[in-house]
């Protein structure tokens, strides 16, 4: 009779926080596959997750769970002998590989190989032979790169999910990122008893965890500083995270004690090519595509092939994060801030880093100018999406131009070339900032300054700063005349007409735009000039000439269809809706409004979306659908956060809004009006768009988290404790009827049919 050997995992000296979904998924993988490898970047928590999974699976492996820590094992060591010793097998004269095969052949055990990344060449063959010889043995490995075996199932361990901050810096959607807050609170309270996350510090903790990339190791190291610093002080000192985050567990492996040691371990495991590419990629911020990496990194002994191989290798080693693929989207990669900062340190500054940052700037300058030149075409949405994805890189490039002597002119070129990113992309405030900055840096009245002044005039006008727009356009006109820049002079005429429209000087605007449109060739190659057609059409509606307005909008639509253009067409559809509404063709008006709305959605143009829905409110009021009109109008009022004035300050629009509002108030009883307006004020932008278009909300995903209210969660916990409905009511000081109602709602939300299922759900919660 043989004695079963039961392996021992080290005691958890700190609690395991979060990763509930990952624990469940990894346990499923281990039950279905004989080799599962947890991969991920340094400090992401692979070992802790593996040990937690192993503890949960003890009963499934009667011959034990065996931990083999490989961090101190060297490639020259005999790995098979290490396993024989670690698994407590009986020694013999046979080679260690034969001992493993013989003594594990009938065992049902789980072997946890922790830290395989530096022994991939040794681990792969040994694990393959072991699994072939012992059919009931399973292996759970942790590594920064897969073992690359056919039977292997790889589970990437990702950084912890973050709560989102709204525009005012308040935490929203906390349920999707509570684990990271729980981790920080748990570790901070261990060194500062009584510490808790509350409304006063919650947003700061979120910002701190974001700066730490959601890496558990970094968060734990930062929490140690709560002994002597506040959250805000820790956040302010993260400019050099590798000096700050050094107070790790002295009992751990050397490369787990500090953040630098953890990342340095990864760097040392990379090939020289991968190390060079890692360092060069550190000039990117927020992500990049492969063509950008090649444009920036190639040179000084690094070839295009080196970059391709280096990127692939860094992804394999969990240094580079490959972004989630969207259907038809270009592949993007990202360095976590922690990894980026280490790579930047490896560059060492000086001329080499300066050259890389200049190549980085050149790449994004060329991208901006390409989008500007080709804007009037079928790829507007894709280009705008790409610019938004590269927003951090664009900022870094502009900041380089501002800070580096001699680069100011390129910065001015870039800020002006991004005109459609600022305007169509809803980034007016940022555009104004960079244009102002670069115009201060470059004072010569040349063509670049004239163009930048013109773009800044347009951006300022759209912000609602009309007087600044007039001053900028006046200076732009003088600079363009001095530089004999005819195309900019022509463009200034279009923008000045638009400014007159916003100033409610309708006669001057009509004359200016009509004169600007005499150069019809501009409409075929400049997206800003094209907008003069719907602008002039709107002025025609203002004076009651709806037929002329329709003619101008149809001309705009023809040009847009010829080029496959959508941005200018969305405005033409909106003005067509206004014209049809004024003509009394309410169904026709709604068709144009909805067409405009669908296009505006593609651009995420919030002011344009709200303008379209405001028009739908007017149409609904005219149709007698006053409750619907009240909802729409109330929602627009609450969601309107443009950089400028409400409804762009157009007097005729404001008068039409007042007329519709009066019709709504006169038609609805006070209680119904209040209810409709309250409901409208509750809409999110997406909900409002669906309501306007008559679309149903998307069906919830089966994997979507269950959303219980705080009170329902409290009731669910009491159900799990075995309390009856009446006992719950007494404990919470509520009526039994209210208690019954809460439990009915909980059952419905969980899709459950019994109190036992509620108890199971509660037990699964973190």
**Of residues 617 and 2, which shows the higher confidence score?**
617
DSSP type of residue 696? P
327 alpha-carbon distance from chain centroid = 17
**Over 60: is that where the pLDDT of 191 sits?**
yes
**Greater model confidence, 189 or 645:** 189
**For 172-181, 219-228, 540-549, 709-718, which range has the lowest pLDDT when averaged over its residues?**
172-181
Q: Supply the Cα-derived Rg of the chain in whole angstroms.
A: 32
- The DSSP line for 69-113 is E-TT--TTS-HHHHHHHHTTPPP-SS-HHHHHHHHSTT---EEEE
**Among 19-33, 96-110, 202-216, 744-758, the least confident range:** 744-758
Q: Is 475 within 8 Å of 453 (Cβ atoms)? A: yes
DSSP letter string over 646-673? GGGG-HHHHHHHHHHHHHHHHHS-HHHH
Residue pLDDT, tens place only, 207-224: 888 888 888 888 888 788
Q: Phi first, then psi: what are they for 95, rounded to 5°?
A: -60, 150
Q: Locate tokens 């399973």: which residue? A: 138
Structure confidence at residue 219 (pLDDT): 82
pLDDT exceeding 70 applies to what percent of the chain? 88
Q: What is the DSSP letter of 400?
A: H
> Is the pLDDT reported for residue 8 higher than 60?
no
In the numeric block, which tokens belong to residue 343?
A: 């790579």
Helix (H), strand (E) at residue 142: strand 138-143
CA separation for the pair 335, 320 (Å, rounded): 5
pLDDT tens per residue, range 541-575: 999 999 999 999 999 999 999 999 999 999 999 99
* Top-confidence residue, 713 or 704: 713
CB-based burial, 184-209: b 16+ in 10 Å, e otherwise: bbbbbebeeeebebeeebbbbbbbbb
Tell me the mean pLDDT in the region 464-480: 95
For the entire predicted model, the pTM comes to: 0.79
pLDDT of residue 166: 62
Which residue has tokens 């005012």?
Answer: 168
How far apart CA 161 and CA 174 sit, in angstroms, is 10
How confident is the model at residue 167, as a pLDDT? 57
CA distances from 497 to 83, 469, 532 (A): 80, 12, 8
Check residue 173 and give its pLDDT: 53
* Residue 474 neighbours by CB under 8 Å, 6+ apart: none
What is the reported pLDDT for 701? 45
Query: Residue 304 above 50 pLDDT?
Result: yes
How many whole angstroms separate alpha carbon 642 and alpha carbon 222?
38
Res. 2: pLDDT tops 60: no
Among the residue ranges 60-74, 626-640, 653-667, the one predicted with the least confidence is 60-74
Would you state the structure tokens that stand for residue 472, as one six-digit string? 């900028």
d(CA 364, CA 366): 5
Percent helix, percent strand, percent coil in the chain, to nearest 5: 65, 5, 30
3-state secondary structure of 16: coil
In 10 A of CB 756, how many CB atoms?
A: 11
- C-alpha distances in angstroms, 181 versus 18, 176, 189, 290? 10, 11, 12, 34
pLDDT digits (tens, 9 = 90+) for 515-532: 999 988 999 999 999 999
Quote the pLDDT of residue 702. 43
pLDDT computed for residue 35 by the predictor: 94
Per-residue pLDDT at 248 exceeds 50: no
Q: What is the mean pLDDT of residues 616-636?
A: 95
Each residue's pLDDT tens digit, 305-327: 999 999 999 998 888 888 866 65
Q: What is the pLDDT of residue 700?
A: 45
Does the pLDDT at position 577 exceed 90? Answer: yes
Please check the confidence at residue 194 and state whether its pLDDT lies above 90.
Answer: no
Measured CA to CA, the distance from residue 359 to residue 292 in angstroms comes to: 10
Say if residue 95's pLDDT is above 70. yes
Strand ranges of the sheet holding 288-289, from the earlier edge strand across to the other edge: 288-289, 332-334, 321-322
Tell me if 282 sits within 8 A of 340, measured CB to CB: yes
* Residue 145 near residue 39, CB atoms below 8 Å: yes
């Amino acid at each position: 009779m043989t004695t079963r050997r039961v392996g021992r995992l080290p005691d958890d000296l700190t609690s395991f926080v979060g990763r509930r979904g990952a624990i469940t998924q990894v346990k499923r993988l281990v039950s279905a596959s004989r080799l599962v490898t947890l991969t991920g970047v340094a400090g992401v928590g692979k070992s802790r997750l593996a040990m937690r999974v192993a503890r949960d699976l003890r009963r499934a492996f009667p011959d034990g769970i065996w931990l083999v820590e490989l961090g101190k094992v060297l490639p020259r060591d005999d790995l098979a002998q290490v396993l024989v010793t670690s698994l407590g097998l009986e020694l013999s004269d046979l080679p260690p590989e034969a001992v493993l095969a013989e003594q594990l052949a009938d065992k049902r055990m789980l072997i946890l190989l922790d830290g395989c990344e530096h022994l991939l060449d040794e681990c792969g063959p040994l694990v393959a032979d072991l699994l072939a010889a012992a059919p009931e043995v399973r292996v759970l490995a942790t590594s920064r790169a897969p073992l690359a075996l056919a039977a292997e199932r790889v589970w990437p361990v990702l950084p912890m999910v973050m709560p989102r901050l709204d525009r005012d810096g308040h935490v929203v959607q906390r349920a999707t990122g509570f684990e990271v807050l729980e981790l920080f609170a748990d570790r901070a309270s261990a060194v500062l008893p009584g510490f808790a996350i509350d409304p006063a510090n919650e947003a700061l903790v979120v910002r701190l965890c974001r700066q730490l990339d959601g890496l558990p190791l970094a968060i734990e190291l930062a929490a140690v500083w709560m002994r002597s610093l506040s959250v805000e002080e820790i956040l302010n000192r993260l400019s050099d995270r590798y000096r700050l985050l050094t107070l790790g567990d002295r009992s751990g492996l050397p490369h787990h004690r500090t953040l630098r040691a953890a990342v340095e371990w990864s760097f040392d495991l990379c090939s020289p090519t991968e190390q060079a590419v890692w360092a060069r990629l550190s000039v990117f911020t927020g992500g990049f595509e492969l063509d950008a990496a090649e444009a920036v990194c190639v040179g000084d002994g690094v070839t295009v092939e080196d970059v391709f191989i280096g990127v692939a290798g860094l992804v394999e080693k969990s240094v580079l994060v490959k972004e989630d693929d969207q259907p038809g989207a270009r592949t993007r990669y990202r360095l976590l801030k922690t990894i980026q900062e280490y790579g930047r340190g490896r560059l060492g500054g000086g001329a080499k880093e300066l050259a890389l940052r200049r190549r980085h700037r050149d790449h994004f300058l060329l991208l901006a100018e390409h989008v500007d030149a080709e804007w009037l075409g079928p790829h507007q949405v894709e280009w705008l999406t790409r610019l938004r994805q590269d927003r951090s890189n664009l900022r870094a490039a502009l900041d380089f131009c501002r800070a580096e002597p001699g680069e100011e002119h390129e910065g001015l070129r870039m800020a002006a070339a991004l005109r459609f990113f600022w305007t169509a992309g809803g980034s007016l405030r940022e555009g104004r900032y960079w244009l102002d900055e670069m115009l201060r840096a470059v004072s010569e009245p040349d063509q670049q300054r004239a163009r930048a002044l013109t773009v800044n005039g347009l951006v300022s006008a759209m912000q609602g700063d009309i007087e600044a727009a007039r001053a900028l356009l006046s200076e732009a006109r003088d600079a363009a005349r001095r530089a004999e820049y005819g195309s900019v002079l022509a463009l200034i005429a279009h923008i000045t007409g638009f400014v007159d429209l916003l100033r409610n000087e309708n006669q001057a605007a009509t004359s200016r735009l009509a004169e600007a449109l005499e150069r019809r060739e501009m409409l075929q190659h400049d997206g800003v000039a094209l907008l003069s057609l719907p602008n002039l059409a709107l002025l025609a509606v203002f004076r009651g000439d709806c037929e002329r307005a329709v003619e101008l909008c149809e001309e705009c639509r023809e040009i847009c269809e010829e080029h496959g253009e959508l941005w200018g067409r969305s405005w033409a559809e909106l003005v067509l809706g206004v014209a049809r509404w004024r003509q009394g063709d309410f169904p026709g008006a709604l068709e144009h409004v909805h067409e405009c709305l669908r296009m505006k959605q593609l651009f995420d143009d919030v002011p344009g979306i709200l303008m379209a829905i405001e028009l739908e409110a007017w149409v609904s009021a005219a149709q007698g659908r006053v409750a619907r009109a009240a909802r729409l109008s109330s929602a627009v009022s609450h969601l309107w956060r443009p950089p400028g004035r409400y409804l762009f300050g157009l007097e005729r629009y404001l008068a039409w809004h007042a007329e519709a509002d009066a019709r709504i108030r006169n038609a609805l009883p006070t209680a119904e009006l209040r209810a409709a307006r309250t409901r409208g004020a509750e809409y999110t932008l997406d909900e409002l768009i669906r309501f306007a278009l008559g679309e149903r909300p998307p069906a919830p995903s089966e994997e979507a988290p269950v959303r219980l209210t705080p009170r329902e969660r409290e009731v669910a916990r009491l159900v799990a404790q075995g309390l009856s409905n009446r006992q719950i009511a007494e404990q919470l000081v509520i009526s039994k009827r209210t208690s019954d109602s809460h439990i009915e709602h909980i059952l419905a939300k969980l899709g459950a049919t019994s109190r036992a299922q509620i108890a199971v759900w509660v037990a699964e919660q973190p």
